């Protein structure tokens, strides 16, 4: 049974995003995920807190969250019943020093790695409250239909990436203010970004990314990268870590 209403699905298809203002996991499960994140944070060494990419490659306990029905039940209405796990990422902006996330499309950084971006969705779960004050994500509605944008270089020390979309009009930006435990969903092609965290409050989120298995993941372009079959069956001849 879908956890999304028909109106929510229609909103996502039209605008490229959805705010899911319900608790995704039960309190004890969210507490366990938070504990794993804190461990990862402790182990990171000199890495900045916003660089904890694909933590599930080294911490298998995360798969119990990434492959959980609670998540897949809100992903399925958007991309269909055959679901692959693409990636995950702890994105943490430390108080006062959390870097800006330049305006970008996730799909631009995955160009050439998969056959299509039409059915890739990111679930952004708030580990901490995410507010304008601490640099919450913002999106430009409807831009998932625009194709790839043109990029320019930016200062990598002050930004999470070293490139950003040129000539951005941010007048229609929608801030994703989320309470701890709630989440947003966005299309891989939508333009989004975030301001730096200048507040005294940490802003951590866990991104969980999924694709419809009719999307081909090109092995030669994804060396040492693993995907999992999360639900349903493979449709494109992909290789999965759990098969």
pLDDT per residue as tens digits for the range 195-225: 999 999 999 999 999 999 999 999 999 999 9
In a domain, residue 238? The reply is: no
In a domain, residue 239? The reply is: no
In a domain, residue 94? The reply is: yes
In a domain, residue 130? The reply is: yes
In a domain, residue 175? The reply is: yes
- Report phi then psi at 163, rounded to 5: -135, 160
Summarised one tens digit per residue, pLDDT across range 118-155 is: 999 999 999 999 999 999 999 999 999 999 999 999 98
Query: DSSP 3-state assignment of 229?
Result: strand
Specify the number of domains making up the chain: 1
pLDDT value, residue 29: 98
In a domain, residue 243? The reply is: no
CATH code where residue 154 lies: 2.60.120.620
Summarised one tens digit per residue, pLDDT across range 221-233 is: 999 999 999 999 9
Span of 7-11, 46-50, 131-135 with lowest mean pLDDT: 46-50
> What's the DSSP call for residue 59?
-
pLDDT value, residue 2: 65
In a domain, residue 1? The reply is: no
pLDDT value, residue 170: 95
pLDDT value, residue 158: 80
In a domain, residue 236? The reply is: no
E strands present in the chain: 17-20, 52-53, 83-93, 101-104, 120-126, 137-139, 151-153, 163-165, 174-175, 183-187, 192-194, 203-212, 228-231
pLDDT band at 46 (very low <50, low <70, confident <90, very high): low
Which structural domain range is residue 91 located in?
Answer: 6-231
Gyration radius of the chain over CA positions: 17
């Amino acid at each position: 049974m879908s956890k999304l209403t028909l109106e929510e699905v229609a909103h996502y298809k039209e605008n490229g995003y959805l705010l899911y203002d319900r608790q995704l996991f039960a309190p004890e499960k969210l507490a366990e995920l938070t504990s794993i994140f804190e461990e990862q944070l402790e182990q990171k060494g000199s890495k900045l807190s916003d660089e904890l990419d694909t933590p599930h490659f080294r911490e298998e306990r995360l798969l119990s969250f990434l492959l959980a029905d609670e998540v897949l039940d809100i992903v399925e209405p958007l991309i269909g019943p055959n679901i692959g796990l693409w990636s995950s990422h702890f994105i943490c902006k430390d108080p006062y020093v959390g870097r800006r996330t330049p305006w970008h499309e996730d799909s631009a950084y995955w160009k050439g790695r998969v056959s299509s971006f039409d059915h890739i969705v990111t679930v952004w779960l708030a580990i901490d409250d995410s507010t304008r004050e601490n640099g919450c994500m913002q999106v430009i509605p409807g831009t998932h239909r625009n194709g790839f944008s043109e990029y320019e270089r930016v200062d990598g020390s002050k930004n999470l990436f070293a490139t950003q979309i040129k000539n951005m009009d941010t007048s229609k930006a929608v801030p994703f203010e989320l309470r701890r435990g709630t989440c947003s969903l966005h299309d891989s092609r939508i333009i989004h970004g975030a301001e730096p965290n200048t507040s005294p409050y940490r802003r951590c989120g866990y991104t969980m990314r999924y694709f419809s298995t009719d999307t081909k993941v090109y092995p030669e372009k994804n060396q040492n990268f693993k995907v999992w079959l999360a639900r349903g069956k493979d449709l494109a001849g992909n290789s999965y870590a759990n098969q």
